[in-house]
Amino acid sequence: MRNARGASPRRAILTGLVLVSLSLVFLFFDRKGVHPGPMGTAVIAVTAPLHGGLTGVGRSVHGLYESYLALRGVREENAELRDRVRALQEQAARTADLLTENTRLRALLDLADRRKDLRLRAARVVGRSNSAFFRVMRIEIDVGDATRIEEGMPIIAPGGVVGQIRTLVGTRAEILLVTDPRSAIDVVLEKSRARGVAVGTGEEDRYEARLEYLERAVEALDGERVLTTGDDGRYPAGLVLGAVISAEEGEESGPFQSARVRPLIDLGALEEVFVVLGPTGLSPDGARFEATP
C-alpha cells in the first residue's frame, strides 16, 4: 500500500514531463508554418486561461505601482503646499505686525504734531509689573541715555495721560500710572468745566480712577472727557485723562459727589510712549510763540 501510494506522485510527475516534452517537440515542428498547427492550437487553448490570469495579475501589479507613484507624488505636493501655506502665514503675520506698528507710530507722530507746545522724548515699554494692586510699568528710553530725564516727569501716549516717572535707574524708568491709588491729578470736565481730583482706584481687574471733590450741583455726563488743568505744576493743561463712565453721589449732606473715570487708552497694551520734558514756548499748533520755556 505504501509503495503504491508513494509511486503515484512520481508517476504523475513523469507523465507531466513527458507531455511537456511532447508538446515542445510538436511546437518545434509546428513553428515552421505561418499559422499554428493542431498541437500549437491545443497548447494555446490549454494555456490561454493561465496567460489571461497572469496578464491580469501583471496589469493589477502595474496599476498598484502607478497608484503608489501617484500617491507618493501627491504626498510630496501636499508637503510642498503645506510649506508654502506656512510661509505665507508667517509673511501675513509679519505684514500685520508691521501694519500695527505703523499705525502706532503714526499715532505718536500725530500726537507730537498736535502738541508742539511740549518737548517730547520717545520711550519704549519693555515690561510690566506682576503686581495687580500697584500696576506699575517699566519703560526704556529709546534714545540711548537718560539725559534730561527726571523723576516726576509726565508720561503720555496717543489718547491720553499714562502717568509719571516714579523712579529712574540708568535708562530704565518705573511709571506710576494714573490708575494707581498713589496718583492724584487736578482735572476739569471738558463741557461743564467743573474741577476735581482724579485719584487712581488700583483695582485688580480694571484700569480706572475716581473723580473726587466734584461739586454736587455739577451734572457729570457719561462719556464726558476729563482733562488735566495744569494747576498741579506737573501735568501740562489740556491732556486727556479719560472719560466719565458713571457718576456716584456721596452723603446727602456732603457738598461733593464723585464719578468713575476710565482712561481712553489701554494702559496694559502700550508699547511706545512719550516723556514730557517740558514746554517749548510755542502754542500747541506751533503757529505762535507764547512764552520762554
Answer yes or no: is 52 within a domain. Answer: no
Bridge partners, residue 154, by sequence: 164
Which pLDDT band, with edges at 50, 70 and 90, does 101 fall under?
confident
Q: Which residues pair with 240 in a beta bridge?
A: 227
Q: In this predicted model, what pLDDT tens digit does every residue of 260-277 receive, in sequence order?
A: 999 999 888 888 999 999
Pick the range with the lowest mean pLDDT from 6-20, 73-87, 212-226, 260-274: 6-20
What's the pLDDT score for residue 1? 46
**269 domain-assigned:** yes
Label residue 40 by pLDDT band (50, 70, 90).
low
Cα–Cα nearest to 261, from 274, 248, 277, 250: 248
- In-domain check, residue 219: yes
pLDDT at 215 over 90: no
- Output the domain CATH number for residue 199: 2.40.10.350
- Look at residue 291 and tell me whether its pLDDT is greater than 70: no
Q: Could you tell me if residue 199 is inside a domain? A: yes
Span 188-211, mean pLDDT? 90
Which one, of 241, 103, 84, lies nearest residue 164 by Cα? 241
- pLDDT tens track for 113-167: 999 999 999 998 888 776 655 555 556 677 567 788 999 999 999 989 999 998 8
Q: How many domains does the chain have?
A: 1
In a domain, 53, yes or no: no
What distance in Å separates the CA atoms of residue 25 and residue 234, rounded to the nearest whole number?
Answer: 120
Q: How confident is the model at residue 208 (pLDDT cuts 50, 70, 90)?
A: very high
Q: Indicate if the pLDDT at residue 64 is higher than 60.
A: yes
With a cut of 80, say whether residue 249 has pLDDT above it: no
Lowest-confidence region among 105-109, 194-198, 234-238: 105-109
Strongest mean pLDDT among 24-33, 43-52, 212-221, 255-264? 255-264
Q: What is the pLDDT of residue 277?
A: 94
C-alpha distances in Å from residue 106, one per residue of 95, 100, 129, 151, 253: 16, 10, 27, 27, 49
**Has residue 39 been placed in a domain?**
no
Task: Of 1-15, 64-78, 118-132, give the range with the top mean pLDDT.
Answer: 118-132
- Give the model's pLDDT for residue 41: 61
pLDDT(33) > 60: no
Beta bridge mates, 276: 120
Within-domain flag for 45: no
Strand 154-157 and strand 160-169: the pairing is antiparallel
pTM of the predicted model as reported, rounded to 2 decimal places: 0.67
- 5 falls within a domain: no
pLDDT-based confidence at residue 75 (cuts at 50, 70, 90): confident
Domain range for 238 = 118-279
- Average of pLDDT values for 241-260? 76
